[in-house]
């Protein structure tokens, strides 16, 4: 039986909110079996389930909310939790955003590894995709369909020398999330960043937490972490958004120019069709990412 996982102990960090530019305190704690991922606005005392039903905005990032309380930019920490096979966790934040850290999921991977991961006395549950579900909008599209394990393919195609017809694909039964995906940073164009900051957004954005591009290339002094880093970051975002289904997904995702809005739409479309999925307990390791069968961290190498 593959067991559910949580953290061994609580751990905290602080960082800057990407859009507010304010300092945010974050505490990541263990949670009981079948809790799932729960966010808490510690300044307001409001809990918000890490689920697609809690999503209230998908412009620029994925934002969840309950009543007047919202938490933005949840996708990177959700991606790290999914990548490390964490089923149950409590995430307290002192403001309206998860801190952006370096713009990737890597700092959260480090945080979780420092806290330690423990197995719990109940079988891991997964959402197995049983039939294809897809959506299209102009030149954008995405689909979920049956597959063994978990695979994500993405086609990035912007009018930019580094972002034209860039295709990446990851089969996490053979490729490690932490090594191949988690370090990919969010990205943006310098003219868009300037416009957003004038509008009171992206106030915490800088070359310390994003890949910044002009018309011809990368402005960051250190360059890219991967030659296709921007496409890999789209995969990182997708992994986090898909985990808002409430369970790890067994199946495959394909996206073309898709983003947070379409990611959340496809999860909602999937869950709305009860013939398209099933919740299963893992009694063995068939069709699971290879790392889940090991004693080390799942999906991470």
Q: What does each C-alpha distance from 266 to 29, 126, 153, 215 come to in angstroms?
A: 29, 17, 15, 32
Angle at 93 between CA 91 and CA 96, to 5 degrees: 125
* Other CB atoms within 10 A of residue 260 CB: 21
How far apart are the C-alpha atoms of 160 and 51, rounded to whole Å? 34
d(C-alpha 175, C-alpha 207), whole Å:
28
Burial 9-29 (b: 16+ CB within 10 A, else e): eebebebbbbbbbeebebbbb
Question: What are the b/e assignments for 105-116, b being 16+ CB within 10 Å?
Answer: bbbbbbbbbebe
Residue 230's nearest CA partner among 248, 211, 245 is 211
Which sequence positions are flagged as catalytic?
Answer: 260
Q: Tokens 């620029």 belong to which residue?
A: 60
Name the β-bridge partners of 65: 70
């Amino acid at each position: 039986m593959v067991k559910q996982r949580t953290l061994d102990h609580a751990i905290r960090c602080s960082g800057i909110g990407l859009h507010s530019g304010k300092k945010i305190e974050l505490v990541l704690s263990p949670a009981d079996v079948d809790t799932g991922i729960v966010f808490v606005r510690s300044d307001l005392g409001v809990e918000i389930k890490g689920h697609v039903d809690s999503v209230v905005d998908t412009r620029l990032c994925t934002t969840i909310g309950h009543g007047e309380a919202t938490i933005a930019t949840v996708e990177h920490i959700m991606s790290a939790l999914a990548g490390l096979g964490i089923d149950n966790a409590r995430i307290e934040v002192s403001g309206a955003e998860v801190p952006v850290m370096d713009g990737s999921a890597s700092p959260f991977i480090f945080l979780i590894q420092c806290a330690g991961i423990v197995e719990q006395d109940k079988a891991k549950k997964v959402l197995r995709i049983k039939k294809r579900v897809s959506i299209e909008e102009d030149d954008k599209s995405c689909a979920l369909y049956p597959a063994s394990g978990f695979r994500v393919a993405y086609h990035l195609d912007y009018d930019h020398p580094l972002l034209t017809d860039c295709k990446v694909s990851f089969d996490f039964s053979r490729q490690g999330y932490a090594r191949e995906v988690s370090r990919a940073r969010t990205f943006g164009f310098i003219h868009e960043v300037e416009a957003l900051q004038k509008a009171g957004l992206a106030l915490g954005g800088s070359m310390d937490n994003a890949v910044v591009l002009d018309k011809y290339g990368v402005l960051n002094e250190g360059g890219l972490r991967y030659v296709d880093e921007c496409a890999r970051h789209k995969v990182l975002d997708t992994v986090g958004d898909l985990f808002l289904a409430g369970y790890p997904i067994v199946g495959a995702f394909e996206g073309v120019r898709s983003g947070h809005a379409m990611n959340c739409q496809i999860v909602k479309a999937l869950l709305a069709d009860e013939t398209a999925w099933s919740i299963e307990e893992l009694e063995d390791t068939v069709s699971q990412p290879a790392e889940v069968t090991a004693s080390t961290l799942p999906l991470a190498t």
